Amino acid sequence: MQATLTESTLDPALAAADMIHPAGEPWLMELKAGQVLRIVDLEGNQAVDTIFYSAADPSERYSLTRTIAAGGRLYLGAGSTLMSSAGRPMLTITADTCGRHDTLGGACASESNTVRYAIEKRFMHSCRDNYLLALGHDARGLDKRDVVSNINFFMNVPVTPEGRLTFEDGISAPGKYVEMRAEMDLLVLVSNCPQLNNPCNGYNPTAVRYLIWDPLPA
């Protein structure tokens, strides 16, 4: 079921940061408690694979199981709270014009590309490669052991009656966005998915846009 759509009241002209993330590339950024991050699907049907870590202690990170348990649903939308491995709120989704964001599909990797598609797909660029590349250029010492389950913003992964997952055409469209408020200081690790073998990116990876607003004065 698609979640209720909720428009944002924030003005892009007042954003503290406005960035374009190229198709297929990694990104590692910091987000302070109280800041609001908007991810914009510029051309539609672009999966944005994201992991969140506590900036104070990166061993505390986004938890798939705690988030699903807290929200009582598999898909994320407005009102969802993203929970940490320590059971603390990391972010709250405050606005969403897409209506479905996947928690189960995971990130593509050379191994999964090989198993799902063909042996010659092994060397295609993947989200796991992106994660490792971004972490390898960071001084915090995070590595492949820290690549945990991720959120796939804008991605449509239905669960079949038999309990299987299927990768389907997205329900997003150009200009759709999801917006979330940080409840703690965070590291945000993103792979703007390069997958070409299933419809999660419409077989054509595209850029996305990030806007960040500082907390409003008390």
Q: Is residue 44 part of a domain?
A: yes
Sequence-distant (6+) residues with CB within 8 A of 206 are 23, 42, 43, 44, 46
- pLDDT per position as a tens digit, 146-157: 999 999 999 887
Number of structural domains in the chain: 1
Separation between Cα atoms, residue 66 and residue 82, nearest integer Å:
8
Q: Is residue 3 part of a domain?
A: no
Q: Is residue 48 part of a domain?
A: yes
In this prediction, residue 175 has a pLDDT band, given cuts at 50, 70 and 90, of very high
- pLDDT per position as a tens digit, 13-68: 999 999 999 999 999 999 999 999 999 999 999 999 999 999 999 999 999 999 99
Greatest CA separation for the chain: 57
Q: Is residue 95 part of a domain?
A: yes
CA dist 150 → 60, 113, 214, 215 (Å)? 14, 17, 25, 26
> What pLDDT, on a 0 to 100 scale, did the predictor assign at position 218?
63
> What pLDDT, on a 0 to 100 scale, did the predictor assign at position 52?
98
Separation between Cα atoms, residue 113 and residue 198, nearest integer Å:
10
46 with 176: CB under 8 angstroms? no
What is the pLDDT of the chain when averaged over all its residues? 90
Res. 181: pLDDT tops 80: yes
Res. 118: pLDDT tops 70: no
Separation between Cα atoms, residue 138 and residue 114, nearest integer Å:
29
Separation between Cα atoms, residue 5 and residue 99, nearest integer Å:
6
Q: Is residue 6 part of a domain?
A: no
pTM (predicted TM-score): 0.91
Res. 112: pLDDT tops 70: no
Q: Is residue 96 part of a domain?
A: yes
> What pLDDT, on a 0 to 100 scale, did the predictor assign at position 73?
87
Residue 161 belongs to domain spanning: 16-213
> What pLDDT, on a 0 to 100 scale, did the predictor assign at position 126?
87
Separation between Cα atoms, residue 144 and residue 208, nearest integer Å:
25
How confident is the model over 174-195, as a mean pLDDT? 96
Q: 131: left (phi > 0), else alpha (psi -120 to 50), else beta?
A: alpha
- Tell me 10's DSSP state: -
How confident is the model over 1-18, as a mean pLDDT? 89
Q: Is residue 4 part of a domain?
A: no
Separation between Cα atoms, residue 213 and residue 181, nearest integer Å:
9
Q: Is residue 151 part of a domain?
A: yes
